[in-house]
Amino acid sequence: MNLITQHSSRRSFLRQQGRAIALPFLASLLTASERAAAEKSLVEGETPKRLLWMTMGHGHMEDHFYPTDTGRFSKISLPPGWDPLRKNLNHFTMISNFTNRENKQPHEGSEAVLSFANVFVIPGRARHNSISCDQIAAAQLGNKTRYQSLQLNCIREDADNGHGGIAISYRQDGSAMPGHDSPLEVYFKVFGGNVGKKELLETLKQRRSIFDILEFENSSTRRILGRADREKLEEYTTSIRDVELALSREESWLDVPYPKANLPKPPEDLQGEPEIQAMFKMIIAAWQTDATRVISYRMPDAGLLKSMGISSTPHTLSHYGSNVSLHKLNLQRTTKWMQLYSGFIDLLRASSDPLDPNGGTIFDNSLVFNGGGLRTGHRNTNVPCLITGGGFQGLSHGQHRAAPKENTPLANLWTTMLQDAGVNTDGFADADGTASSIWT
């Protein structure tokens, strides 16, 4: 649901709780607090790293996406779906032989792509996820930003097309993190809504009142429930506690001024390709303003096909077999995804980083994954894996690399991304090493 409707007012905006932060893109225009942070980084010589995980559900047709050889892209034959990427071949890396090993639901590979949980592991429960890697990062990297993390989801129409719902980020208890399903929502999270401090404070008070009622009802109900229902209620209670923490965090940022945005507000009802392009711009904006340093994006694969005039679903295209018509549609789809990816790399490289004392770009200080938890045909082996950004230590882009062992845990890459971004962790989920060993 969109936070802002076509005829919304400032009052309705407050009622729907759309508020956030904005900082201009130029360091000289940052607020006093952000300038202090930038000056601190100049003294310490540290630039914050940004993390992004983007997933797109079902994978690509092998002939259109996977190079047959490893090595530098300039020296090997490239698949036809990569044509839009040729200008950026030196700015990303492909890695083969990664597997989403714990995935036990072949139609919903993204449900656990950031957690690597076997969601069927607990008897008597339909699903039980575990914490996702972006939330591990958020807990350690989100202390200095208004939002510990941002979750960009898709509209309900895109659910169950290789994802298993609309979320890919999960709390410690396995419940889904709330997210934003339109660029307009993210715009208001990043750039605010021209709402004064007094009105924001009143909104927070109203939300706290609702929270208190939920807490009371929760406590009263627990006494009359059986064991199974109490377990379900405990999951709900965890979500309520997260709401309380979010409210406290918002209150602590009330005195931080909201500079004006220098991006136009995206239209309300974007879908498919325009929606993805607008969301890419909002990711850059969130990073340039230092609103957050950790983002996950569950991309609208079905919506993209619809905007391309293709009536087939991603699920249908994943079962292409010998159907020549489906082969052609798959090539169109892969080519479009690679075009969008190449455009996002352009944005990363063209966007200055206000917190980089050396005048670097957002590209220089980011670690970005683009891929998914499934290959076509619902296989979780050799899943699509493209990485970009200069935050990977010791990695020189421009190559197709392969893990030495087939079915190497994709969690090895998550471990590397977390460690290279400065997260204190020895490993994540079922990792048995790091991905950095592939390129060092």
What is the DSSP annotation of 344-395? HHHHHHHSB-TT-TT--BTGGGEEEEEE-S-BGGGB-SS--EEEESTTSTT-
**Contact partners, residue 359, CB within 8 Å, separation at least 6:** 352
C-alpha–C-alpha distance, residues 54 and 343, integer Å: 14
* pLDDT, average across residues 408-432: 96
Average pLDDT in the 250-255 region?
74
Tell me what pLDDT residue 58 has: 85
How far apart are alpha carbons 415 and 413 in whole angstroms? 5
Q: Which of 282, 88, 308, 121 is nearest to 189 (CA)?
A: 282
Give the pLDDT confidence of 35-68 residue by residue, as tens digits.
454 444 444 558 999 999 999 888 899 999 999 9
Nearest to residue 400, comparing CAs of 16, 78, 103, 73? 73
> For the segment 273-316, what is each residue's pLDDT rounded down to a tens digit?
999 999 999 999 999 999 999 999 999 999 999 999 999 988 89
pLDDT of 8 reads 38
Q: Strand pairing partners for 294?
A: 51
Distances (CA, A) of 70 to 205, 313, 404: 58, 31, 12
Residue 10: its pLDDT value, please?
A: 38
Q: By three-state DSSP, how is residue 294 classified?
A: strand
pLDDT tens track for 125-162: 666 788 999 999 999 999 889 899 999 988 766 665 66
Residue 138 is predicted with a pLDDT of 96
Q: Give the mean model confidence (pLDDT) for residues 189-207.
A: 67
Q: Where are the beta strands (DSSP E) in 359-432?
A: 366-371, 385-388, 399-402, 408-409
- What residue spans define the domains of the chain? 19-192+259-423, 194-257
The average pLDDT across 101-125 equals 76
Length of the chain: 440
pLDDT score for 440: 87
Predicted local confidence at residue 422, as pLDDT = 96
* Confidence band, pLDDT 50/70/90 cuts, at residue 249: confident
Amino acid at 31: T
Distance of CA 279 to CAs 193, 265, 272, 348, Å? Answer: 18, 12, 11, 13
State the pTM of this model.
0.83
Enumerate the β-bridge partners of residue 50: 366
Kindly state the helix (H) or strand (E) to which residue 54 belongs, with its residue range.
strand 50-55
Of the candidates 394, 407, 389, the one whose C-alpha atom is nearest the C-alpha of residue 347 is 389
Average pLDDT over residues 79-107: 92
Looking at domain 19-192+259-423, its CATH architecture is 3-Layer(aba) Sandwich (3.40)
Q: How many CA atoms lie within 13 A of 275 on its CB side?
A: 26
- Which tokens in the block code for residue 169? 């980020």
User: Whole-number mean pLDDT of the chain?
Assistant: 81
**Type of residue numbered 423:** V
